[in-house]
């Protein structure tokens, strides 16, 4: 699963077929819910409630130059919840107090409703910037009622950070991105995947096995207690919806309100190998949506008047870059990474189309500016990559025979070539993971066990395919799904869709949910402009990948 951009739809703040797996809940797996972990969580919660969080000025490494009122602190959690008196780690936390100012009536004071905790996804994304979101118009009513709470999950940033490779050597570019890799290329990637997996343990130690989704959910309960909240109000995006659902299943009576935005599929059989295959298939459809849009605006971009013609233009660029990298740094791998972001956010369609057009018509500058990796962000990207790998590899069994990966991805790449093999290489270290893995929790709640949960999804989301939202709604009894029809932007709350925002605000501010699943018309398509529009580089997960082939 990939990281989400916090409120990317608002165009603002960047904050992500195999043999059946063994049955969930096999005893002895690290992180499997059990009596010891439950007791350890209770101990950690009691300590956190007593200690609270001493908020003060934010360190530059956590949140540089925060606005007035935004403060930072830490909360202590056990490394291993089965041993709460053993090693402990600190998670960094940020907070903006509720303004209690009604943005529609400056004379009206808004009652404070407590803390709203946010996670932007990943695994490996930090939510430390979340308190800044209250300055955006779409968030001001939420910011009036809630303290906005961001945090860096275990392993991220200064929260007991993980590392799997030397950041100085993490960035390599230009790189290849073969749609149908040769046997020699596959052998090379296997070697690199094995080395990367070994590097995770060499640089972070065997304690890396405790960096998993179940512990992320337990950490969330400790954070709730440290904030002085009797029940949790939580909003998770992308991967954040998965451990939010774990939290709901593990601590249903602790949930006050929960928004799951761009929900992933919590079915244990899809965590995480099959989920990534689903994702690659969905990206092919979204790539086709983007090509169709470019073709409709051939008068602007001159890349072809049909989807097939646009594909030929893209293939031409990839072949040229394989022969000579643009700016010495942008090869086929960087091209693919940059266009992958358009599969996440259609706000990025104009900038990507314009960059491709300019490159094919003799000006590589826009493409280089978008796609060239930066050494300045290498350390952050390497850390995020390490957390992504550790969590996904620890969470569940993966095929350990490359022949399975080769079979499944070769078949899929015949019909979905755009993202399939790059996604496989991203996750291949999990085939050679050197520490024990856990079994995924079977996420389910019964009628009346859990407060109503609001699930938001775009029907053509590629990073979190829509089937996952349907499965999530089936498993969380009493949940309600709001669908943005015929749309594919990853992360829909707080964006330009007033219908979606109406449901979202009514839920967080008043606790109201629709009587049944609801839907909203799609947001407007991007406007085709030659200047390219927003030029953001995409999600945290994409930021990791665009740094180059680090494995």
Q: Catalytic residue positions? A: 238, 461, 490
Count of alpha carbons within 13 angstroms of residue 430, beta-carbon side: 28
Q: Comparing C-alpha atoms, which of 509, 472, 474, 475 is closest to residue 493? A: 509
Tokens of 496: 């330009």
Sequence-distant (6+) residues with CB within 8 A of 308 are: none
Cα-Cα-Cα-Cα dihedral of 126, 127, 131, 133, to 10°? 100
Joined tokens for residue 66: 């925060």
Which residue shows structure tokens 């601590």? 251
Q: Give a three-class secondary structure readout of 131-157.
A: HHHHHCHHHHHHHHHEEEEEECCCCCC
Q: Which parts of 237-377 fold into alpha helices (H)?
A: 239-250, 273-296, 298-301, 307-323, 332-344, 349-360, 365-371
CA distance 28 to 26: 7
Distance CA 376, CA 389 (A): 22
Asked if 262 contacts 461 with a C-beta cutoff of 8 angstroms, the reply is: yes
């Amino acid at each position: 699963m990939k990281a989400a951009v916090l409120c990317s739809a608002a165009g603002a703040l960047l904050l992500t077929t195999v043999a059946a797996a063994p049955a969930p809940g096999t005893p002895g797996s690290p992180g499997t819910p059990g009596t010891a972990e439950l007791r350890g969580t209770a101990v950690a919660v009691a300590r956190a409630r007593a200690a609270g969080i001493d908020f003060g000025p934010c360190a530059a490494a956590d949140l540089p130059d925060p606005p007035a009122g935004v403060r930072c602190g830490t909360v202590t959690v056990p490394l291993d919840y089965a041993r709460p008196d053993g090693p402990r780690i600190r998670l960094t936390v940020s907070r903006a107090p509720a303004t209690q100012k009604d943005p529609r009536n400056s004379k009206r004071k808004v009652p404070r409703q407590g803390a709203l905790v946010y996670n932007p996804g990943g695994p490996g994304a930090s939510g430390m910037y979340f308190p800044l979101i209250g300055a955006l118009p779409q968030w001001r009513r939420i910011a009036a009622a809630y303290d906005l709470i961001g945090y860096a999950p275990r392993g991220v940033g200064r929260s007991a950070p993980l590392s799997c490779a030397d950041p100085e050597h993490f960035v390599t570019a230009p790189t290849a991105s073969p749609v149908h890799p040769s046997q020699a290329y596959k052998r090379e990637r296997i070697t690199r995947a094995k080395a990367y997996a070994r590097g995770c343990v060499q640089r972070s130690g065997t304690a890396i096995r405790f960096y998993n989704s179940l512990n992320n959910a337990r950490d969330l309960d400790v954070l709730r207690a440290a904030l002085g909240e009797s029940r949790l109000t939580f909003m998770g995006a992308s991967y954040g919806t998965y451990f939010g659902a774990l939290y709901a299943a593990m601590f249903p009576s602790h949930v006050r309100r929960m928004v799951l935005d761009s929900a992933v599929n919590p079915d244990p059989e899809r965590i995480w190998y099959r989920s990534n295959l689903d994702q690659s298939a969905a990206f092919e459809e979204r790539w086709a949506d983007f090509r169709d849009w470019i073709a409709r605006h051939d008068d602007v971009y001159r890349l072809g008047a049909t989807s097939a013609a646009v594909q030929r233009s893209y293939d031409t660029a990839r072949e040229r870059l394989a022969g000579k990298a643009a700016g010495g740094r942008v090869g086929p791998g960087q091209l693919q990474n940059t266009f992958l972001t358009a599969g996440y956010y259609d706000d990025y369609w104009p900038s990507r189309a314009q960059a491709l057009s300019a490159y094919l018509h003799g000006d590589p500058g826009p493409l280089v500016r978008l796609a060239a990796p930066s050494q300045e962000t290498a350390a952050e990207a390497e850390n995020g990559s390490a957390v992504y790998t550790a969590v996904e590899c620890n969470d569940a069994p993966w095929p350990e025979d490359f022949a399975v990966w080769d079979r499944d991805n070769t078949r899929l790449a015949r019909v979905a070539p755009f993202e399939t093999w790059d996604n496989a290489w991203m996750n291949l270290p999990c085939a050679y993971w050197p520490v024990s893995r856990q079994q995924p929790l079977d996420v389910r709640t019964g009628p009346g066990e859990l407060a109503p949960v609001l699930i938001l999804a775009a029907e053509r989301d590629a990073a979190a395919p829509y089937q996952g939202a349907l499965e999530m709604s089936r498993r969380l009894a009493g949940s309600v799904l709001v669908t943005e029809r015929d749309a594919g932007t990853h992360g829909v709350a707080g964006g330009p869709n007033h219908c979606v925002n109406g449901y979202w605000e009514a839920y967080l501010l008043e606790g109201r949910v629709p009587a049944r699943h609801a839907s909203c018309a799609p947001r407007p398509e991007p406007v085709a402009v030659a200047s390219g529009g927003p030029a953001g580089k995409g999600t945290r997960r994409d930021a990791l990948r665009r740094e180059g082939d680090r494995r």
